[in-house]
Chain A
Amino acid sequence: MPEPVDARMRTGRSGFVEQGLWVAVAVLVPVCLHQIFQVVPTEGKMGVVQRIFYFHVPSAFAGFLGVGLCALCSALYLWKRDRRYDLVAHASAEIAVVFFTIVLLTGPIWARPVWGVWWTGEVRLTSTLVLWLMYAGYLILRRNAENPEQEARWGAVLGIVGALDLPIIYKSVEWWRGLHPKVLKVSGGQGLDPAMERGLMLCSLTFILLFALLLVLRCRAGALEDDLAALTRHAARRGAGAEPA
């Protein structure tokens, strides 16, 4: 019984959402760069290196969005067993790893002149590194699964376990050591200069839109991979099976 492969070939073109996101990101990225390097004031004590903050923090936001979305879609996948949830979970984890790589690279560049060290045992550094290792492991496990269905199930289990583990990891590292600048009001800092806050908001928005764009692209690529696999199976069956009438 050949699969109705033709009915699934709808993923080849970009949709309105994707096109809209392309436009938004293409406009916002230059605006952000202008903000970061021309508009926002230079921080008094740290100097110009502080401007890396506008890449560092929004990347962390986008990364956490990815981890959260991965956990949510993992749970939904185990519940509904709909392949689309798995595509989103996988894509979010992948993009989260990319954004957390940016966080882990920009952090030490900033820390070296400001704290005097590249790396310390500080809570957010350490827990972000652990998080990155965990989701890198998630991606490696998925690559090693025997079939797509097993890959999706395992990914979902790991996505949920990872999300449960994050607060505990954070808390344990916090108890173990405690030196990260707390600039945002929500985390107990004294707040930012209004111009800096506007810059941060704009950059965060841009990074989140960039995240969304990458997500849409990656999900479409995943769906295309599925289609390709289905076509390959279909072709193999036609080649191997009895000659169709």
Chain B
Amino acid sequence: MSYWRAILLVAGKDLRIELRSREQAVTLLFFALLVLVVFNFAFDFTVIDFVTLGPGVLWVAFMFSGVLALNRSFQNEREQDRIQGILLAPIDRSAFYLGKVAATTLFMAAVEAVLVPIAVVLFNFKFNGRIVLAILALVLNTVGFAAVGTLFSGMTTRTRRGDLLLPLLLFPAAVPIALSAVKTTSHLFAGHPLSRYASWLAMSAAYDLIFLAAAVLLIDHVLEE
């Protein structure tokens, strides 16, 4: 079996489970929505410009719901030791990891795709930035978050306090992603030219590549039983 096919199979498995149960997407979406609503109460957006605060609010919602998704990422495998089956399967463990990253990225992207229009309505914001670049920024930063998050959740889900541990490890490590995401989104919302934030996009891309590569090299040590 080719490497790519293994990745697709693992990601497809997770998506199929999700499509049949529809547990996670709905929960994640409502959680992210609640974060937005809480911020809507916490700050008076008739006074504060959404361009100033909105990117931070959005990314807090994305990352909090992302951590929930990542905490669940290995749950199916951990239950009843199903992970043994995956580890015995004739596929590379890094393919298993990349499949997981792909699935988590898709879950997070689905939440983002629904949440952004809701935020536009909720905060009376007129989005006049470039859609393609906005999607690129969302994808680059989501992949980076999911890449490091999946590597860490491979460790934390084994522990008793895993769901507490993951954010503890992930948020400091994901600081570059958080900064890049918020800055890029503010520039996009403000309608600035690409040259103002191209370096942030490049940083996110570099972060993705560095940590995907590092995780592919390290994942054997994480998943070893």
Contact = CB atoms under 8 A, between A and B. Distances in A.
Interface of A: 78, 130-131, 133-134, 137-138, 140-141, 144-146, 150, 153-154, 156-158, 160-162, 164-165, 168-169, 171-173, 175-176
B96 interface: no
A198 B189 CA distance: 52
Contact of A144 (B159, B173, B210): B159
B211 A153 contact: no
Given A158-B152, A161-B173, A168-B207, 15 more contacts: A78-B221, A130-B175, A137-B165, A141-B155, A141-B156, A144-B159, A145-B158, A154-B155, A157-B218, A158-B155, A161-B151, A164-B211, A169-B175, A175-B179, A175-B183
Given A168-B176, A168-B207, A161 B218 contact: yes
Interface string B181-225: 001000000000000000110010011001100100010011010
B172 interface: yes
Given A141-B155, A144-B160, A144-B161, A165 B222 contact: no
Contact of B172 (A137, A154, A172, A175): A137
Contacts of A134: 169, 172-173
B180 interface: yes
B159 A153 contact: no
Contact of A150 (B156, B158, B207): B158
B165 to A, nearest CB: 6
B89 interface: no
Given A141-B156, A176-B183, A161 B211 contact: yes
B173 A172 contact: no
Contacts of A169: 175-176
7 contacts: A140-B168, A141-B156, A141-B165, A144-B156, A144-B161, A153-B222, A165-B176
Contacts of B152: 158
Contact of A140 (B151, B165, B175): B165
Contacts of A78: 218, 221
Interface residues of B, number: 32
Contacts of A173: 175, 179
Nearest to A135: B172
B61 interface: no
Given A154-B222, A164-B214, A144 B165 contact: yes
Contact of B214 (A141, A161, A171): A161
A146 B159 contact: yes
Nearest to B159: A144
10 shortest interchain CB distances as A-B pairs: A172-B176, A134-B172, A133-B172, A144-B159, A137-B169, A168-B176, A172-B179, A137-B168, A154-B155, A153-B221
Contacts of B161: 144
B173 A157 contact: no
Contacts of B148: 161
A172 B158 contact: no
Contacts of B173: 134, 161-162, 165
